[in-house]
Chain A
Amino acid sequence: MSSRTHEDAEASVREVRERLDRVTDPELDESIVELGYVDDVLVRGSSVDVTFTLPTAWCSPAFAWMMATDARDEVESLVTVETATITLREHMHEAEITEGVNAREPFESVFPDADGGVESIRASLDEKARVGRQFDAMNELLDAGLTGAQISKLTRRDLSLEDGGVVFVRDGNVGVTFDPEPLADYLEKAEATGLVDADTDHVFRTPEGDPIAPEQFDLVHKRSRLANVNMTGQGNICDALNEARFAEGRPPLSET
């Protein structure tokens, strides 16, 4: 939790939403702001209240928990915010999740029957998100003119994302420029999964996390596409369920 720097400074709703934009639905790897989950943001001095709703009332409690805690932590990372209070609405476990997250209890004590802790679920979804993002990053480098074999061999030191992206190939003698955004998105997840850091020799990996042999590039590229299609596919299902749930004239459901 951060301390306040100015007595009178107050976060703007826009600043809060920018922080919330960094929070993803872990199954879809898309921002909860983009997905339209955030209903309301209320700033009162150094306290911020965020209310959100998920596409279905039975969305996995572990996923809902991750989004709620991530939202709380992101908002509290603003220097002008002391406490963020998160409220989940219209969910089968809205009370347990809202109360548990705001009381800063661990997931396991609120949901003792859940299989596996929230951190292991997060790790496996992060891994899938990494592979999905890898597809866009590889495509950016292919479009910039690199070959699959060159991409397979890239080290973290070969890539510079500052001042537009530059990648050095042919033993560092040739610099090729590219749009840094898909690479930055990829590296963010690759770092979160612990596969890549500043000294990493292989930036890109198989879905299992191993370095890519040059002749394997095409297969890994296709598997990355598949992971990407899967995540966005599930997004389309959630989206349709969301529309169905809030359609006009819809009888109240899922409240038993």
Chain B
Amino acid sequence: MYQQDGEDIFVIDGHVHLWDAREENITHEGGEQFIQCFYDYHTGFTPEEREWDLDEYRHYGKDRMAEDLFGNAAADMAIFQPTYLTDFYDEGFNTIEQNAELAEEYPERFVLNGTFDPRDGEEGLRYLEEQKEKYDIEGVKVYTAEWRGESKGWRLDSDESFEFLEKCAELGIDKVHAHKGPTIRPLNRDAFDVADVDDAASSFPDIDFVVEHVGLPRLDDFCWIAAQEPNVYGGLAVAAPMAQNRPRKFGEIMGELLYWLGEDRIIFGSDYALWNPDWLVETVMNAELTDAQKDEYGIELTTDVMKKIMGENVAELYDIDIEAKKEQFRSDSVTEEFGLGDHYGTQDATAD
């Protein structure tokens, strides 16, 4: 657990992947462009001494991932968000099946999310059922700019999408994480437009929609939608590493999110392996607003606010009992493997 001022912060990394962009898995030039573009984001927002080289970035495997997440106890749990891209990658880039390799080794530490793509029609509905049956998924990640043959994207508010959202509701899948964020080559910028979340969220009030990457470069559209739809959340992946080399801008974005969404609807995510929680958690926890920002927004990133953002908010969404987890993690296999007994063995001094 991350510790700050004598308090334990239970960290649930809300956005991680176990991907495979090895050359032998790439079947379309878009696959190579995509991983190279990811790598630009990685190096653009990673401290120089923590940068990976491109080969290790293509494929890091489950053991390294476990070490990165839990080795220095930066994260206590994580949520897998798949990204299929099967038009670019033979076996997919980051599928539920790939993610399950690690999630099933440490089931108490991971939430495994699935996906749907309304362009897959009947077959897609069956795949959604299969994921529910096999992995008992509670949430899905959707990627509206994904290519499928001639199609260069889809909308969350289309009739076909609503059919899948209805199926989700029927199966008890009540969290939809939508990538609505920065363009990634070669995908189409406009296919990540956040506007379609609005109608989907108001039509499905029992489903919670987590807008990953808080809509950037459309933070304004996202916040305005979220201010009106109580079941819309903001995922901090991509915004979080700005705390490292663009701290002023990170402060402004946090100010806006806290103003429009409040402290209960913001969720931390590293986007691993885009960025690594083993340094990112500490960077975000140490972020401070400038005096001018505190004045402008009338807020501070207090330990209580940060506890919510780093874990409590997403725990609420996924019915994770943090206190029970702390107890369980005193002796689970991750704790044994990485020698974390001390982290979970001592009582939280400030617990009530």
- Interface core residue of B188, B245, B256 (most chain A CB under 10 Å): B256
Q: Choose among B29, B40, B219, B256 the residue that contacts A241 (Cβ–Cβ < 8 A).
A: B40
Q: Count the A residues whose beta carbon is within 8 Å of the partner chain — how many?
A: 35
In angstroms, Cα B238 to Cα A60, docked, is 19
Stretch at the interface among A64-72, A174-182, A230-238: A230-238
* A42 beta carbon closer than 8 Å to chain B: no
Check B43–A256 contact: CB distance below 8 A.
no
Check A241–B44 contact: CB distance below 8 A.
yes
Q: Which residues of B contact A253 (CB under 8 A)?
A: 36, 39-40, 54
Q: Choose among B188, B217, B220, B245 the residue that contacts A226 (Cβ–Cβ < 8 A).
A: B220
Check A227–B36 contact: CB distance below 8 A.
no
**In the complex, which residues 236-253 of chain A have their Cβ closer than 8 Å to any Cβ of chain B?**
236-237, 239-241, 243-245, 247, 250-251, 253
In angstroms, Cα B39 to Cα A236, docked, is 17
Check B218–A226 contact: CB distance below 8 A.
no
Shortest Cβ distance from residue B87 to the other chain A in the assembled complex, whole angstroms: 16
Range for the number of chain B residues in contact with chain A: 35 or more
In angstroms, Cα B190 to Cα A233, docked, is 18
Q: Which residues of A contact B183 (CB under 8 A)?
A: 58, 60
Shortest Cβ distance from residue B299 to the other chain A in the assembled complex, whole angstroms: 13
In angstroms, Cα B296 to Cα A250, docked, is 39
* A222 beta carbon closer than 8 Å to chain B: yes
**In the complex, which residues 105-150 of chain A have their Cβ closer than 8 Å to any Cβ of chain B?**
115-116, 128, 131
* A27 beta carbon closer than 8 Å to chain B: yes
* B216 beta carbon closer than 8 Å to chain A: yes
Check B252–A229 contact: CB distance below 8 A.
yes
Q: Which residues of A contact B220 (CB under 8 A)?
A: 128, 131, 207, 223, 226-227, 229-230
* A38 beta carbon closer than 8 Å to chain B: no
Q: Which residues of A contact B29 (CB under 8 A)?
A: 256
In angstroms, Cα B296 to Cα A49, docked, is 45
In angstroms, Cα B32 to Cα A256, docked, is 7
Interface SS of chain A: helix, strand, loop or mixed?
helix
Check A58–B252 contact: CB distance below 8 A.
no
Check B54–A58 contact: CB distance below 8 A.
no
Check B44–A229 contact: CB distance below 8 A.
no
* A254 beta carbon closer than 8 Å to chain B: yes
* A57 beta carbon closer than 8 Å to chain B: yes
28 examples of A-B residue contacts, CB within 8 angstroms: A56-B37, A56-B40, A92-B185, A92-B186, A115-B190, A207-B224, A225-B296, A226-B256, A227-B220, A232-B252, A233-B216, A233-B217, A233-B219, A233-B249, A233-B252, A237-B216, A237-B217, A240-B45, A241-B40, A241-B41, A250-B43, A253-B36, A253-B54, A254-B36, A254-B37, A254-B40, A254-B185, A256-B29
